[in-house]
């Protein structure tokens, strides 16, 4: 799949990946379930006699074919996944952000710093100071962690990226609808991991500008 040059909506890309994984997963699960049931019933021990197949058997060709099929499935899934990631990451990197927010994860809270506007929001362990963003504008997140690996996750928007200590990952996201959403940490990071939540408020453009003017110290 060629990487598009214009800004594109890549929300459907992971649906496409999911649509390939799920039927394969169901197929493999069904195959093994049926095989285990058939083998268990057909070759079960009867009348205390050993079945003629109970000894050591080799079926090298069959095993080889089985390994090759599994390898092919894994190769196709890897290819599909890396293509999708490349497509989304490239489209994301090419977007010009209208707003940049530093997202700093730490045990067990999120810090949202609006560079150049003098605003710092800390989620706290109960998610009280939200991430506030404008709708339909590319928002760039500089994502990092102060201690261990955390996961910046907004389930309703199907957005998730790891926050790694020692590196800053740049990702761009368009919020396509206004409203309030909840976010959480998706990587187990210690005793209060489940409390590492945050709110997301997506505002219409004008309201967002007013919010910036009201909370910020002006351009810094
Ligand atoms: Cu965490």
Domains of the chain: 10-94 (1.10.287), 99-215 (2.60.40.420)
> How far is the centre of ligand 1, averaged over its atoms, from the C-alpha of 190 (Å)?
7
DSSP string, 12-47: HHHHHHHHHHHHHHHHHHHHHHHHHHHHHHHT--BT
For 117-204, where are the alpha helices, taking DSSP H only?
none
Identify the pLDDT of residue 217.
65
Whole-model pTM over 0.85: no
How far is the centre of ligand 1, averaged over its atoms, from the C-alpha of 207 (Å)? 30
Looking at residue 131, its pLDDT comes to 92
What pLDDT is attached to residue 13? 84
**Spacing, Cα 121 to ligand 1 middle (Å):** 17
Q: Are 158 and 14 in contact (CB under 8 A)?
A: yes
Extract the tokens encoding 22: 């799920």
Q: How far apart are CA 169 and CA 192, in angstroms?
A: 24
Low-confidence ranges of the chain (pLDDT < 70): 1-8, 48-55, 125-127, 217-220
pLDDT for 129-149, tens place per residue?
889 999 988 899 999 999 999
CA of residue 120 to ligand 1 center, whole Å? 19
What is the Å distance from ligand 1's center to 109 Cα?
8
pLDDT at residue 159, rounded to an integer = 86
Distance (angstroms) between ligand 1 centre and the Cα of 89 equals: 23
């Amino acid at each position: 799949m060629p990487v598009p040059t214009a800004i594109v909506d890549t929300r459907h890309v992971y649906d496409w990946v999911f649509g390939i994984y799920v039927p394969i997963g169901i197929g493999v699960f069904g195959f093994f379930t049926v095989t285990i049931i058939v083998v268990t019933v057909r070759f079960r021990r009867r009348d205390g006699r050993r079945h003629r197949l109970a000894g050591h058997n080799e079926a090298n060709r069959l095993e080889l074919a089985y390994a090759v099929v599994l390898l092919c499935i894994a190769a196709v899934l890897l290819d599909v996944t890396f293509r999708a990631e490349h497509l989304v990451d490239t489209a994301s990197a090419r977007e010009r952000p209208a707003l940049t927010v530093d997202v700093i994860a730490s045990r067990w809270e999120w810090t949202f710093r609006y560079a150049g506007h003098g605003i710092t929001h800390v989620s706290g362990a109960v998610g009280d100071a939200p991430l506030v963003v404008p709708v339909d504008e590319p928002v760039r997140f500089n994502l990092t962690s102060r201690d261990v690996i955390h996961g910046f996750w907004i389930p309703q928007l199907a957005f998730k990226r790891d926050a790694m200590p020692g590196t800053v990952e740049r990702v761009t996201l368009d919020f396509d609808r206004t409203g309030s959403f909840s976010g959480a940490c998706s990587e187990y990071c210690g005793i209060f991991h489940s409390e590492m939540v945050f709110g997301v408020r997506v505002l219409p453009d004008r309201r967002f500008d007013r919010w910036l003017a009201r909370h910020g110290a002006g351009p810094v």
